[in-house]
Amino acid sequence: MATTLFLGVDGGGSRTTVVIGDEAGHIVARVEGGPTNLHSVGAESALHTLGQIIDQALTGLGVQRPRVRVACLGMAGYGRPAERLALRRWAAGVHLAERVLLVNDADLVLAAGTPAGWGLALIAGTGSLCCGRAPGGAGARAGGWGYLLGDEGSGYSIGLAALRAIVRAADGRGPAPAFAPAVLAALPAHSEEELIPWVYRSPIPRSQIAALAPLVGEAAAGGDPMAEAILCAAAEDLAQLAVTVARRLGLSGQAVPCALGGGLLVHMPALARGALQAAADDGAVLAPVTCVEDPARGALRLARDEVPAPEDADRE
């Protein structure tokens, strides 16, 4: 077992992945657990879950609390200064690593999916956002405002649109969507009337609402016009995020490497194709495109990049 280890965390609104790598770049431990987005589950629960998953990964190595040289935490929901300060204090309190690097979840996708280190990272899972980096190092982002202020094109927004279509049909204000039976069968609320106490409970079941998105995708693939319209709107919303970031970075009019992340874009190719086409129609050519199924590898890459090359060690 290498004495110097690197730890990477991909923490989101649906699940969290912790990986530990050695000096040679090999992954020696990997553990998955529940959500650690503080806006989804609250700060106390998020940090408690994060600590449990990390402890499980370290314990699985079979040695007493090994030395972690650098830990890179890519956490959804920790983008603001006060949130990052709380996370850094937590990491210091548990003696997580000699050095702790805090990034957002989009940075992990960018690191894992753009070999040259520049381009766009477009993410759609429970939430949505886009971040980018120009060849010179300038950065920009759009989205990531959460389910009340943003998250357009996300699993949550698609699931919510599906539920709204169902209740409109129940009122007689619209046609019954083909996906209604499958959506209701997937929920603890099996009828339109039962949706109210389920949706308005505390906390709001965001991840369960987001989990409805694949059912809408299946209905769209089957030719349901309402499902197709919902996915088309989501694709356009995601494209707008990418186009905005590309323009802010001065990358319009050229091919821009793009990393796609989040369960929605990775596992719903029709949505990804729609978003890429809508972006191209608006002047942002995203190519080459890489689907990032394991953003935690990007966290490890960023952690290892924090260690200077041997010739620079005297300047660390």
Residues 178 and 54 in one domain: no
Q: How many domains does the chain have?
A: 2
Q: How confident is residue 308, by pLDDT bands cut at 50, 70 and 90?
A: low
Q: Which domain holds residue 58?
A: 5-103+295-315
| Cα torsion angle, 145, 146, 147, 151, sign | positive
- Please state, in angstroms and rounded to a whole number, the distance separating the CA atoms of residues 228 and 212: 14
pLDDT band of 213, cuts 50, 70, 90: very high
Widest distance between CA atoms in the chain: 73
Q: Is residue 290 in a domain?
A: no
**CB under 8 A, 24+ apart: contacts of 242-245:** 242/120, 242/122, 242/130, 242/275, 242/279, 242/284, 242/286, 243/279, 243/282, 243/283, 243/284, 244/130, 244/142, 245/120, 245/130, 245/131, 245/132, 245/140, 245/141, 245/142
Clarify whether residues 205 and 278 are in a common domain. Answer: yes
- Please, what is the Cα angle at 248 between 244 and 254, to 5 degrees? 85
Domain check: are 65 and 160 in the same one?
no
Q: Is 285 helix (H, G, I), strand (E, B) or coil?
A: coil
Q: Are 96 and 71 in contact (CB under 8 A)?
A: yes
Same domain, 10 and 145: no
Q: Which of the residue ranges 3-12, 83-92, 158-167, 197-206 has the most confident prediction, judged by mean pLDDT? A: 158-167
Mean pLDDT of 66-77: 86
Residue 17 has what pLDDT?
A: 93
CATH of the domain at 81: 3.30.420.40
Task: Assess whether 54 and 203 both reside in one domain.
Answer: no
Please tell me what DSSP assigns to residue 253.
Answer: T
pLDDT at residue number 210: 92
3-state secondary structure of 142: strand
Q: Give me the amino acid identity at 125.
A: G
